[in-house]
Amino acid sequence: MDAAMNYADAASAPANPLARLLAGVNRNVMHVVAAVAATLVVVETGVLLAGVIYRYALHDPLIWSDELASTLFIWLSMLGAVLALDRGEHMRLTAIVNKLSDKWRVWLETVAALIVCIFVLMIIHPAVDHASEQMAITTPALEIPDGLRAAALPVGAILMFLAAIARMASRSSVKQVLSAVAVVAVIGAVLWISKPALLAMGNYNLIVFFVVLIGVCVAGGIPIAFAFGTATMAYLTIATGAPMMIVVSRMDEGMSSLILLSVPLFVLLGSLLEISGLARTLIDFMAALLGHVRGGLQYVLLGAMFLVSGISGSKAADMAAIAPALFPEMKKRGSKPEELVALLSSSGAMTETIPPSLVLITIGAVCSVSITALFIGGLMPAVIATIAIGIVCWFRARREPMPDVKRASIGVIGKTLIAAIPALALPMLIRVAVIEGVATATEVATIGVAYTIVVGLVMHAFMKHLDFKRIYPMLVEAATLSGAILLIIGMATSMAWALTQSGFSAKLVSLMQGVPGGGFGFLLITIVIFIVLGSILEGIPAIVLFGPLLFPVARSLGIHDVHYAMVVILAMGIGLFAPPFGVGFYAACAIGKVSPDKVFNRVWGYLAALVVALLVVAAVPWISIGFLEH
């Protein structure tokens, strides 16, 4: 899966006047969308910060701040999703498509763009109807029509249609478009003609829509969010009499949760950590402490990933913040590049449970689990996983020569510690504030953004290291990544609703309750399921889709929500970074500039250690829930 893969690598200039016109219009529109989305990130942060200041500093809560933030948030989510589509940054599986010839790859890209066009066309009218109905509802604090918020859905759908049609016109020939239309039309006709047979199958028709159809879409490189949406639309149209507006209303519900307001803020915070220089000061301090021991910088990499991970919302961003600062020095000391990338990849897998991971926030939102409890429960499983990888590092480091580096003096350690104190304080501030219940995840993220900006400006006054030209692209990237994540959550919420209404959830609970081995047997099945799903679907899509189905089963078997969440997240993380499909593995190889073939054999030792750590976490619930009792 690749969250930054263009729809067609073999891009060429539009071949005809109509295509050039569409490309030009789309380009100008997307410039405006990017500017609005970047502005919304700033305004959203400002509104939430004002709410925090009034609540905690002035003790005079703003009753309208959350309401305005929620309205801005759905617009930010939809515009971010539009940008992600235009830039080819929606999460999708590319492993199969990339193995094909250029001709077939471009044809599949054409089919993907066509599917997106069809889907958004189908939801535009229901989205307009939904927004119109919401106009009759007045918000309690601002006393404005709620339809102004819901209007983001049809506007976003229209802009997505423009982006997809412009992409298809500029990248594909007329012959490719016509053949893609023919194939999609045939598949649609077969499904429609098979309606009586599908209805006669009862719930077994779910396999056709939610296994076969989604599988074909994902394998063909269609963005996962649209694969979910297309399958749900097809199921509701053919197998039920439910109106299409349900898809839109479920999307609205899934993307409007106040809990998810923290997503763009943590994404922004991760970017700010990197450009402010705080991440670098952290690395310098740990290198001064451990750089002289055998394998010392490997331990520094582990520690840095433990402290920084989870804040940015993107594993690629976490790795990109750490690796360039450490890899050159590690190579100088004799470490093999492929070994470094294997370690980087596995360290990304181990840190998914560390607060304030967006995966934790997503599970809390979609599975009705306390985010505070998840933040408390996530630290010890990550410690166990870190120790497991550290043991592998120790064994492998014994074969390396001692580094020709003198132990840092107390003065150097003290100097780097002073410089690193602001960076060390931030993750501690975030985790302690949420764990102690001082503030919500969204409020802490807001405080973290303000803190990082202030500290970064103070540091810039002395070191002049900030590049202010990076701020606007950073805001656009925050909106884009947030939109890609939130659209998946919205689409998967619609899909989960369809599965629930079909009665599948109840049957799944009944089936899973009878698995051999009781609760632990169910945990073992969960581990296998989420390692596979994490590899194919990536983390958040897998959790949003299957979490609401499997968490009730876990509860019925007496498994604590937080314990189950930790098993799910660690399993998903292993799948995410396991070759041959895991996107995290290829992201680590790209960041380390090493061929995946060279890393392939070296990563398994680390992944095996993580599997052992996961089995320990699954077998010992106290690791996840022991601190919840105090």
pLDDT 10s digits, 23-80: 888 899 999 999 999 999 999 888 888 888 888 778 888 888 888 888 898 999 999 9
| Cis geometry, peptide bond prior to residue 580 (ω within 30 degrees of 0) | yes
Q: Which amino acid would we find at residue 167? A: R
59: left (phi over 0), alpha (psi -120 to 50) or beta: left
pLDDT at 309: 66
Query: HSE of 351 in the Cβ direction (CA atoms, 13 Å)?
Result: 27
pLDDT of 8 above 50 = no
The pTM score is 0.77
pLDDT 10s digits, 66-110: 888 888 989 999 999 999 999 887 877 776 787 888 888 888 888
If you average pLDDT over every residue of the chain, what do you get? 80
Mean pLDDT of 229-239: 88
CB 89 within 8 A of CB 480: yes
CB 259 within 8 A of CB 442: yes
**299 CB-near residues (< 8 Å, 6+ apart):** 286, 290, 293, 390, 393
pLDDT of 510 above 80 = no
pLDDT of 512 above 60 = yes
Residue linked to tokens 């100008």: 28
Q: Is 307 exposed, middle or buried (0-12, 13-18, 19+ CB in 10 A)?
A: buried
The more confident residue out of 568 and 628 is 568
Mean pLDDT of 540-553: 78
The more confident residue out of 338 and 249 is 249
The DSSP letter of residue 7 is: S
pLDDT at 530: 84
Mean pLDDT of 371-398: 85
**32 CB-near residues (< 8 Å, 6+ apart):** none
CB 243 within 8 A of CB 134: no
- For residue 155, give Cα distances in angstroms to 41, 75, 81, 150, 167: 18, 9, 12, 9, 18
What is the rounded distance in angstroms from the CA atom of residue 401 to the CA atom of residue 203? 62
Q: Quickly list DSSP for 525-585.
A: HHHHHHHHHHHHH-HHHHHHHHHHHHHHHHHHTT--HHHHHHHHHHHHHHHHT-TTT-HHH
**7 CB-near residues (< 8 Å, 6+ apart):** 88, 109, 112, 113, 167, 171
pLDDT 10s digits, 147-168: 899 999 999 999 999 999 988 8
The DSSP letter of residue 56 is: I
Percent of the chain's residues with pLDDT above 70: 85
- Of 75, 3, 29, 2, which is closest to residue 167 (Cα–Cα)? 29
The more confident residue out of 56 and 540 is 56
Residue linked to tokens 């709620």: 146
Residues shown for the chain: 630
Of the segments 111-120, 351-360, 443-452, 494-503, which one has the largest average pLDDT value? 111-120
Mean pLDDT of 3-14: 42
What is the rounded distance in angstroms from the CA atom of residue 260 to the CA atom of residue 150? 17
What is the rounded distance in angstroms from the CA atom of residue 6 to the CA atom of residue 518? 45
What is the rounded distance in angstroms from the CA atom of residue 570 to the CA atom of residue 541? 15
pLDDT 10s digits, 100-147: 888 888 888 889 889 999 999 999 999 999 999 989 888 888 888 888
The more confident residue out of 437 and 19 is 19
The more confident residue out of 328 and 626 is 626
pLDDT of 340 above 70 = yes
pLDDT of 440 above 80 = no
Distance of CA 109 to the CA centre of its chain: 23
What is the rounded distance in angstroms from the CA atom of residue 285 to the CA atom of residue 416? 5
Percent of residues in the chain assigned helix, strand, coil, to nearest 5: 80, 0, 20
**Cα first-last separation, the chain:** 41
The DSSP letter of residue 47 is: H
For 119, the token pair is 């889907």
Residue linked to tokens 């915070």: 269
Mean pLDDT of 384-406: 78
pLDDT at 311: 59
- The secondary element (H helix, E strand) that includes residue 350 is helix 337-350
- Of 557, 555, 535, 534, which is closest to residue 546 (Cα–Cα)? 534
| Cis geometry, peptide bond prior to residue 356 (ω within 30 degrees of 0) | yes
pLDDT at 403: 58
The DSSP letter of residue 9 is: S
CB 210 within 8 A of CB 236: no
